[in-house]
Amino acid sequence: MLDIQLLRKDIAFVASRLASRGITIDTAHFEALEAERKEIQTRTQDHQARRNALSKQIGIAKAKGEDASAAMAEVVRINDELKVLEERLGDIQEELNDFLSQLPNLPHASVPEGGSDADNVELRRVGEPRRFDFPVRDHVDLGEALDLLDFATAAKLASSRFSLMRGGLARLHRALAQFMLDTHTQEHGYEEVYVPYIVNADSMRGTGQLPKFEEDLFKLNNGMYLIPTAEVPVTNIVRDEIIPGENLPIRLVAHTPCFRSEAGSYGKDTRGMIRQHQFDKVELVQFVRPEDSYDALEELTSHAETILRKLELPYRVVALCTGDLGFSAAKTYDLEVWLPGQNTYREISSCSNFEAFQARRMQARFRREGGKPELLHTLNGSGLAVGRTLVAVMENYQNADGSITIPEVLRPYMGGLSVLRQGQD
RNA sequence: GGAGGCGUGGCCGAGUGGUUUAAGGCACCGGUCUUGAAAACCGGCAACGCGCAAGCGUUCGUGAGUUCGAAUCUCACCGCCUCCGCCA
């Protein structure tokens, strides 16, 4: 949520920053609502003040045994008017709130201008895509040939866009998550958290999934939702809290499954594990002081990159342009891993600074020594998407005979195993 | 699932219809005293909204209601605790 003060003060600025994201806002509508809100609110509060004063007089009069019927009659009259005013004020405030909650965050000044992902800016490439002297297979062919990946059975159990992993591949998937958690907790100073995979609507509003993106979520019959990312439960830990300033920054990491309905993605990435209704992700979340959040974004991105470096997977870092930013983000770096099976770089992590956008929705604040509560800044990033990392390992580490070499750093998690081949357990 | 109890500021806690403008304590901040610290004493100290300000308003888990007036009464919901049942 944007700061309503900023809209009151300089709506032209807000409109122009949103225009860079391809969003047009009805400034006249907002200004009209605000003018009415101000008038109605002033009148409402005048009435309330009058009523409170009279009620106090009535109390004093009654205590003395005097007659208070004139004052009581006036309060009745004031209450009639007040009822109308309060209703109208409530409606206006709701309308303002709806207007505000539909607006995405403003892009940071350093975000490149652009209308679509074609305008994203590649910042750096790390690692050299491997040259293969045999025909490259994608992860689906590799996994099915090894009898370790079975999409047909997954579709029988659930539907398309689910996967079934077996044996060494299931273990490799688990190894990746363990390796990521251990790296972030032991080397990068994150605290591991275990969180609910089902959350309420308030949490979804806090991080910005609601009200605009309900169709992307799985909703349960009790009104709660399956999490689309650990960002939701982990970030909402600080909702409605005032954190002592000396406790910041707070760095949390969680490994969770993620559930996405992928509505509107029919025909996109239908093959393999790239786009699933259920996938695992290790998520990094930071709560920081406002002045530290851009340094924290660089640092958090480097933490995610560390995983790719240790796995020796080639990747590139891309700065999303204004038109490609997610709803709540002020700035985002995507990490894209090289997939030989697709002969291209594919997103494997998205690291964002939300500034105070989520904190304002969540009322997540901190207090400096002796100061007033201030909104903190939130950040998060995948560190990494486990399923896509598994795909990247399979495709980049494949051998001519269809076996898959296990990256060095994962072998301790695999009981020392160095290669996945057919017929193994 | 059943029965009972409870939700008050950063924390503890008083308050069962009217000068509550939420007592008191802890913590915290400032001051006096002191070589310094501690103790003692004095003062300050919830959040949010509107307003240039004075100030006004809202908030006692949440929402609805009763009343001239609600932290206090009624209803619903949420959460926590205790006991019973069930269960990994």
SS3 assignment, position A380 = strand
Describe the strand order of the beta sheet including A365-367 as a list of residue ranges: A242-244, A365-367, A373-375
User: Is it the case that residue A64 has pLDDT exceeding 80?
Assistant: no
Q: What is the pTM of this model?
A: 0.92
The model's confidence at residue A425, banded by pLDDT at 50, 70 and 90, is: low
Q: What is the pLDDT of residue A324?
A: 96
Gap between the Cα atoms of A206 and A235, Å rounded: 8
- Residue A98 has phi, psi (to 5 degrees) of -60, -45
Active site residues of A: 260, 275, 347, 350, 388
Quick one: residue A45, left, alpha or beta (phi over 0 = left, psi -120 to 50 = alpha)? alpha
Footprint of strand B on the protein (CB under 7 A): A 4-5, 8, 38, 41-42, 44-46, 48-49, 51-56, 58-60, 62-63, 72, 75-76, 79, 242, 365, 370, 372-373
Mean per-residue pLDDT over chain A, rounded = 92
Q: What is the pLDDT of residue A257?
A: 96
- Give the distance, in angstroms, between residue A369 CA and nucleotide B36 C1': 24
Q: What is the pLDDT of residue A277?
A: 96
Query: Which tokens go with A8?
Result: 């009151």
- Residue A307 neighbours by CB under 8 Å, 6+ apart: A179, A180, A183, A383, A384, A389
Please tell me the number of Cα atoms within 13 Å of A113 on its side-chain side: 5
Nucleotides of B under 7 A from a protein CB: 10, 18-19, 21, 28-29, 47-51, 56-58, 68-69
CA atoms A243, A244, A245, A249: torsion sign: negative
Q: Nearest nucleotide by C1' from A41 CA? A: B50
More confident residue, A75 or A164: A164
Q: Which helix (H) or strand (E) holds A352?
A: strand A344-353
- Give the distance, in angstroms, between residue A241 CA and nucleotide B78 C1': 18
Question: pLDDT tens digits, residue range A413-423?
Answer: 999 999 999 88
More confident residue, A145 or A79: A145
Gap between the Cα atoms of A258 and A174, Å rounded: 15
- Residue A120 has phi, psi (to 5 degrees) of -65, 150
Q: What is the mean pLDDT of residues A387-397?
A: 98
Q: Nearest nucleotide by C1' from A42 CA? A: B50
Burial class of residue A288 in the structure, from the number of CB atoms within 10 Å of its CB (0-12 exposed, 13-18 middle, 19+ buried) = buried
- Residue A363 neighbours by CB under 8 Å, 6+ apart: A239, A240
Q: What is the pLDDT of residue A245?
A: 82
Q: Nearest nucleotide by C1' from A244 CA? A: B10
User: Is it the case that residue A65 has pLDDT exceeding 80?
Assistant: no
The model's confidence at residue A286, banded by pLDDT at 50, 70 and 90, is: very high
User: Is it the case that residue A325 has pLDDT exceeding 70?
Assistant: yes
User: Is it the case that residue A406 has pLDDT exceeding 90?
Assistant: yes
User: Is it the case that residue A371 has pLDDT exceeding 80?
Assistant: no
- Give the distance, in angstroms, between residue A42 CA and nucleotide B49 C1': 11
Report CA dihedral (A47, A52, A54, A56) to the nearest 10 degrees. Answer: 180
Prediction ipTM score: 0.81
- In terms of Cα–Cα distance, which of A311, A313, A255 is closest to A280? A255
First CA to last CA distance, chain A: 51
The model's confidence at residue A212, banded by pLDDT at 50, 70 and 90, is: confident
- Give the distance, in angstroms, between residue A298 CA and nucleotide B60 C1': 44
User: Is it the case that residue A369 has pLDDT exceeding 80?
Assistant: no
Name residue A144's amino acid: E
Please tell me the number of Cα atoms within 13 Å of A279 on its side-chain side: 26
Q: What share of chain A is helix, strand, coil (3-state, %, to 5)?
A: 45, 20, 35
Tokens 């240790």, residue? A310
